[in-house]
Chain A
Amino acid sequence: MNLLSVSNLNVNFHLKGQDLAALIDVSFTLNRGERVAIVGESGAGKSVLGFSIVNLIDKPGYIKSGSIKLDNKEITKMTRPQLQEVRGKRIAMIFQDPMMTLNPVLTIGAQLVEAIRSHTRISFKDAKNIAIEKLHSVQIASPEKRFHQYPHELSGGMRQRVIIATVLLLNPDIIIADEPTTALDVTIQAEIIQLLLDICRNNSMALLLISHDLGVVSRIAERTIVMYAGRVVEEGPTLEIINDPQHPYTQGLLNALPQMALPGQRLNQIVGSMPPLNERPTGCAFHPRCPYATDQCRQQQPGFINSGVSTVACFMVEDMLTDTNSDYDEEID
């Protein structure tokens, strides 16, 4: 049984009289201990997805339809107290910017202890011990001292560690990490990634990593979901996707990575940018930027098919599979 299963999730934003779709028919699953990445440019709806899972989308966004099941329990129908039980204890989140994630006017300790005490009835002292232990486990030096400090007295990397420690406090089943390293220095990025990886492995926690950085994704995730304009466009094992991207968008993303480019070759940026919510094109949303776009792409939304490498939503791949022309396949490579 899947730990988390999202099916046909639609999230809309009610903006200035318009009802705009931010997520359209998103489905995926997450198993216990599994590490899955969601990639895409900003605006693809990755973060919205991450927040929807714990039902934390701000107004004017709302879940229009679909289901999110945690251990077969429907999260979208949960009451506030039930959600509070899920948040933190079952599903925890790590945010993009550690500078903004900790409350500047409360001590580190207070923010750690409150997380434990809101879920478990234990004394402040016990909670403090747990908190210090966790701080220690995320490799923070002299945790007793840090416990009494305010966030501004810590560096960015240190803060992200504190956040990870907060997340670990209740030993959740799933960690949703929304671009956990984007705001950090490159050297610290590596450390934090390693830390996350270790933690998930050691505690057999499932990780849902939201990132636009395929490099990071390739190091952590077992499976990758690529999103574009609110839809999943490709899903499959990370290695396979990186080695053999099917969807033109995934290809574009990969081509834009420096380490993917051949020596002497220019980086291939995808032309144009993600359309805003209110200007989503008809058909396949990627068609205005897609080098292979056809009239069919402009008019119809492709369905998912299994390409063998991954599950992908693209007419071109569909056409190729029906042609079953393997030579053509190789040419593309």
Chain B
Amino acid sequence: MRYFKKDIITPAQSSRWSHIWAGFIGDKLATLALAIFVFYCLVAIFAPLLAPYNINNPNFMDLENAEIAPFWISGDSRFLLGTDAQGRDMLSVILYGTRLSLTIGVCAVLIQTALGICIGLISGYLGGRTDNFLMRCADIQLSLSTMMVAIVFLAIFQAMFGMAMYQQLAMLMLILVIGLAEWPLFARTIRASVLAEKQKEYVDAARIMGISPKRIMFKHILPNTLTPVLVIFTVQISNAIVAEAALSFLGLGMPANDPSLGALISVGFSYMFSGSWWICVIPSVTLIILILVMNMLGDGLRDHLNPKTYKD
């Protein structure tokens, strides 16, 4: 389509976003994904208000209520989605878990973005040896998978802060680890965009006018690279959430008394075939839908923004 696109859609900047928006809304799947995502976000933000129980209340976890099936099976109206092995209300736990997972996902990706943008801009703009070195680092970082990096980082963090401290810092650690592990994707995309933008006249013009490189990068080049960043951002959030879930599954994630969705699945895993399937299945479904939605949203954005991203 490349051949015609420029003929069909005006590059007029002002109306561009409204065009994209219109197109996006026209895409039913993407709209649905967006709606569900917004729903998730609202749930995450208002979890304390929505949750039927306060999870911080010492009475919240009552072993007496352990493993009650969801409302539609047990008929127990106190617990809409049933309770887990510790007697916690599944609905409340899942609401808070979603909040945690999303927070970790979004914050981690924010770190990735910040890091990726800085490195990508520097690398693309300065070029030469710096570029070569940074991209090689990115290669190495990419080839060691997130999981490996995370395991090593988490071990180091545990060493630095000690076990008890780690417990309280777990969320921060996870954000940092996942944030630090996946910057290369952003860096590469930004770099590619910068290289493309650098060719264009306005950058030369800006340089001739004596504007500092930093200003050129942030004021002039960066805004033009935002489209691919937005797409990766969406997809990366889902990746970050999955990474957190996998780390929790390996026992490196959130502690059991402050569970993210991944930790919930991990804890519930042994109940999968024990009859109390809801302990594992409900958080799994919640997680899978969230990730699916993020991916669909990413696909939608990709279709409608049509950026060149570094593929992964």
Contact = CB atoms under 8 A, between A and B. Distances in A.
Contacts of B10: 276, 279
B196 to A, nearest CB: 15
B26 A47 contact: no
A42 B7 contact: yes
A48 B9 contact: no
Given A276-B9, A276-B10, A277-B8, A16 B22 contact: yes
Contact of B4 (A16, A17, A61, A279): A61
B1 interface: yes
Contacts of B1: 58
A47 B7 contact: yes
A58 B3 contact: yes
Given A15-B8, A47-B7, A277-B7, 16 more contacts: A13-B4, A13-B8, A16-B23, A17-B26, A20-B8, A22-B8, A42-B7, A43-B7, A47-B3, A47-B4, A48-B4, A58-B1, A58-B3, A61-B4, A276-B8, A278-B8
A272 to B, nearest CB: 12
> Which 9 A/B pairs are nearest by Cβ-Cβ distance?
A276-B10, A43-B7, A16-B26, A16-B23, A277-B8, A17-B26, A58-B1, A276-B8, A276-B9
A17 B3 CA distance: 20
Interface residues on A, range: 10 to 19
Interface in B1-44: 1, 3-4, 6-10, 22-23, 26
Chain A CB count within 10 A is highest, among B1, B7, B9, B22, for: B7
Contacts of A276: 7-10
Nearest to B25: A16
A55 to B, nearest CB: 15
A277 B10 CA distance: 9
A295 B4 CA distance: 32
Contacts of B23: 16
Contacts of A20: 8
A277 B4 CA distance: 11
Nearest to B7: A43
A16 B1 CA distance: 14
Interface string A197-229: 000000000000000000000000000000000
Contacts of A278: 8
30 contacts: A13-B4, A13-B8, A15-B8, A16-B22, A16-B23, A16-B26, A17-B26, A20-B8, A22-B4, A22-B7, A22-B8, A42-B6, A43-B7, A45-B7, A47-B3, A47-B4, A47-B7, A48-B4, A48-B7, A58-B1, A58-B3, A58-B4, A61-B4, A276-B7, A276-B8, A276-B10, A277-B7, A277-B8, A278-B8, A279-B10
Contacts of A61: 4
A102 B4 CA distance: 19
A103 to B, nearest CB: 16
Contacts of B8: 13, 15, 20, 22, 276-278
The SS class assigned to the A binding surface is: mixed
Interface string A57-84: 0100100000000000000000000000
A16 B3 CA distance: 18
Interface of A: 13, 15-17, 20, 22, 42-43, 45, 47-48, 58, 61, 276-279
A95 to B, nearest CB: 9
Contacts of A15: 8
Contacts of A48: 4, 7
A211 B73 CA distance: 72
A184 B199 CA distance: 18
B298 to A, nearest CB: 19
Contacts of A58: 1, 3-4
Contacts of B26: 16-17
Contacts of A22: 4, 7-8
Nearest to B9: A276
Interface string B280-302: 00000000000000000000000
A17 B10 CA distance: 18
A66 B23 CA distance: 29
A58 B1 CA distance: 7
A59 to B, nearest CB: 8
Chain A CB count within 10 A is highest, among B9, B10, B23, B26, for: B10
B53 to A, nearest CB: 46
Contacts of B22: 16
A20 B7 CA distance: 12
A43 B9 CA distance: 10
A47 B23 CA distance: 25
Nearest to A51: B3
A189 to B, nearest CB: 21
Contacts of B6: 42
Contacts of A279: 10
Contacts of B9: 276
A16 B306 CA distance: 14
A240 B290 CA distance: 66
A182 to B, nearest CB: 13
Contacts of A47: 3-4, 7
A22 B9 CA distance: 12
Nearest to A42: B7
A279 B9 CA distance: 10
Contacts of B3: 47, 58
Contacts of A42: 6-7
Nearest to B6: A42
Chain B CB count within 10 A is highest, among A13, A16, A20, for: A16
